Amino acid sequence: MNTQNPAAKNSLLTPFNVTVGIIFLLGALITFLRFTKGLAGVTNLSDNNPWGVWISFDLMCGVALAAGGYTTSAACYVFGLKRYHSAVRPAILTAFLGYALVVFALHYDVGRPWRLPYPIFVQSGTTSVLFEVGLCVFLYLITLFVEWTPAALEWLGFRKYRNIIVKGTLALTIFGVVLSTMHQSSLGALYLIAPSKLHPLWYSSYIPLFFFISSIAAGLSMVIFEGTLSHHFLHHKMDRTYQSEHNEVVLGFSKGAAMVLACYFLLKLVGVALDNKWHYLLTGYGAWFLVELLGFVALPCFLYAITVREKNLKLAKYASILTVLGIVLNRFNVSWFAFNWQLPAADRYFPSWMEIAISIYIVTIGVLFFRFISTKMPIFYEHPEYREHAPHEGEEEEGPEFTEHKLHKHPQTFGH
Amino acid sequence: MLRRTFLGLLGAAGLGAALGKPAHAAGAQHFQGYPGSFGVLFDSTRCIGCRSCEAGCNKVNELPPPPEPFDDLSVLNTKRRTHAWTYTVVNRYDNIPGAAGPVYKKWQCNHCLEPACASSCFVRAFTKTPQGAVTWDGTVCVGCRYCMIACPFEIPTFEYSEPLTPRIMKCTLCYPQITSGKLKVPGCVGACPVEALVYGKRSDLIKIARERFHTFPGRYLNQIYGEHEMGGTNWLYISGVPFSALGMREDLGVTPAPELTSGALATVPIVAAAWPVLLTGIYAINKRKDKIARQEEAQAVARAVAQAQAEAGAKLKKAMTKAEAEQKAAIEREVKRALEEAVKGQSQEGE
Ligand code: SF4
Ligand code: SF4
Ligand code: SF4
- If one counts every other C-beta atom within 10 angstroms of the C-beta of residue A216, the result is 29
Collect all residues with Cβ–Cβ distance below 8 Å to B124 and sequence separation of at least 6: A123, A124, A125, B118, B140
B38-55 tens-digit pLDDT: 999 999 999 999 999 999
Residue with the bigger pLDDT between B336 and A282: it is: A282
Q: Is it the case that residue B196 has pLDDT exceeding 80?
A: yes
Arithmetic mean of pLDDT over chain B: 87
Q: What distances in angstroms separate CA B206 from CA A191, B42, B209, B238, B239, one per listed residue?
A: 32, 11, 5, 10, 13
DSSP string, A255-280: HHHHHHHHHHHHHHHHHHHHTT-GGG
Q: What is the mean pLDDT of residues A252-280?
A: 94
Q: Is it the case that residue B71 has pLDDT exceeding 80?
A: yes
Q: Which of B118, B160, B280 sits opposite A45 (nearest CB)?
A: B160
Please return the burial class of B23, using the count of CB atoms within 10 Å of its CB with bins 0-12, 13-18 and 19+.
exposed
Per-residue pLDDT at B240: 95
Task: Return the SS3 of B199.
Answer: strand
A302-322 tens-digit pLDDT: 999 999 999 888 899 999 999
For residue B61, give the ligand 3 atom closest to its CA.
3
Q: Is it the case that residue B298 has pLDDT exceeding 90?
A: no
Collect all residues with Cβ–Cβ distance below 8 Å to A331 and sequence separation of at least 6: A56, A57, A60, A61, A64
CA–centroid distance, residue A29 to ligand 2 (Å) = 27
Is the distance from CB of A1 to CB of A411 less than 8 angstroms?
no
| B276 chain-A contacts, CB cut-off 8 A | 174-175, 178
Instruction: State phi, psi for B41 to the nearest 5 degrees.
Output: -105, 125
A45 inside 8 A of chain B by CB: yes
Is the distance from CB of A201 to CB of A289 less than 8 angstroms?
yes
Q: What is the DSSP letter of B185?
A: S
In the structure, what pLDDT confidence band is assigned to residue B335 with cuts at 50, 70 and 90?
A: confident
Q: What is the mean pLDDT of residues B232-250?
A: 96
Architecture of the domain whose range is A61-342+350-382+404-414: Up-down Bundle (1.20)
Instruction: State phi, psi for B158 to the nearest 5 degrees.
Output: -135, 145
Residue with the bigger pLDDT between A413 and A309: it is: A309
Alpha helices, DSSP H, located in A157-239: 159-167, 169-189, 207-233
Collect all residues with Cβ–Cβ distance below 8 Å to A145 and sequence separation of at least 6: A96
Q: Which residues line ligand 1 (CB under 6 A)?
A: B 109-112, 115-117, 134, 151, 153, 155-156, 170
Closest alpha carbon to B165 in A114, A225, A236: A114
In the structure, what pLDDT confidence band is assigned to residue A79 with cuts at 50, 70 and 90?
A: confident
Q: What is the mean pLDDT of residues B273-287?
A: 87
In the structure, what pLDDT confidence band is assigned to residue A203 with cuts at 50, 70 and 90?
A: very high
Q: Is it the case that residue B15 has pLDDT exceeding 70?
A: no
Asked if the Cβ–Cβ distance from A111 to B249 is below 8 Å, we say: no
Q: Is it the case that residue A10 has pLDDT exceeding 90?
A: no
Q: Which of A46, A181, A206 sits opposite B275 (nearest CB)?
A: A181
What is the sign of the dihedral through the CA atoms of B310, B311, B314 and B320? negative
Per-residue pLDDT at B3: 41
Q: Is it the case that residue A62 has pLDDT exceeding 70?
A: yes
Q: Is it the case that residue A399 has pLDDT exceeding 60?
A: no
Global pTM reads 0.84
| Long-range contact pairs involving B70-79 (C-beta distance under 8 Å, separation at least 24) | B73/B49, B75/B51, B76/B49, B76/B51, B76/B104, B79/B247
Q: What is the mean pLDDT of residues B145-170?
A: 96
Q: Is it the case that residue A406 has pLDDT exceeding 50?
A: no
**Burial readout A238-269 (b: 16 or more C-beta within 10 A, e: otherwise):** bbbbbeebbeebbbbbbbbbbbbbbbbbebbe
If you take atom 8 of ligand 1, which residue's CA is the nearest one? B117
Searching chain A, which residue's CA lies closest to the CA of residue B291?
A80
Cβ(B63) – ligand 2 distance below 6 Å: no
Collect all residues with Cβ–Cβ distance below 8 Å to B52 and sequence separation of at least 6: B70, B191, B192, B193
Query: What share of chain A in percent tops pLDDT 90?
Result: 65
Q: Is it the case that residue A12 has pLDDT exceeding 80?
A: no
Best probe residue, ligand 2, of B126, B134, B140, B144 (max atoms within 8 Å of C-beta): B144
- If one counts every other C-beta atom within 10 angstroms of the C-beta of residue B313, the result is 10
Per-residue pLDDT at B227: 96
Q: What is the DSSP letter of B83?
A: B
Residue with the bigger pLDDT between A246 and A153: it is: A153
Is the distance from CB of B150 to CB of B117 less than 8 angstroms?
yes
CA–centroid distance, residue B135 to ligand 1 (Å) = 10
A81 inside 8 A of chain B by CB: yes
ipTM: 0.87
In the structure, what pLDDT confidence band is assigned to residue B31 with cuts at 50, 70 and 90?
A: low
Is the distance from CB of A207 to CB of A189 less than 8 angstroms?
yes
Please identify among residues 231-270 of chain A the ones whose CB lies closer than 8 Å to any CB of chain B: 252, 255-256, 259-260, 263
Per-residue pLDDT at A394: 39
Asked if the Cβ–Cβ distance from B18 to A197 is below 8 Å, we say: no
Say how far apart CA A215 and CA A137 lie, in whole Å.
15
CA–centroid distance, residue B107 to ligand 3 (Å) = 10
Arithmetic mean of pLDDT over chain A: 87
Q: Is it the case that residue A400 has pLDDT exceeding 60?
A: no
A16-58 tens-digit pLDDT: 899 999 999 999 999 999 999 999 999 999 999 999 999 999 9
Closest alpha carbon to A203 in A216, A188, A214: A188
For residue B150, give the ligand 1 atom closest to its CA.
7
Closest alpha carbon to B42 in B192, B147, B153, B164: B192
Domain boundaries, chain A: 61-342+350-382+404-414
Q: Which of A47, A79, A195 sits opposite B6 (nearest CB)?
A: A79
CA–centroid distance, residue B112 to ligand 1 (Å) = 6
Q: What is the mean pLDDT of residues A232-243?
A: 77
Poorest-confidence range of A162-176, A357-371, B144-158?
Answer: A162-176
Poorest-confidence range of A317-321, B220-224, B226-230, B339-343?
Answer: B339-343
Q: What is the mean pLDDT of residues B88-117?
A: 95
Chain B: give the shortest CA distance to residue A149, in Å.
23
Q: What is the DSSP letter of B61?
A: T
What CA dihedral angle connects A59, A63, A64 and A69, to 10 degrees? Answer: 170
Interface test with A, best of B145, B151, B254, B287 (most A CBs within 10 A): B145
Cβ(B234) – ligand 3 distance below 6 Å: no
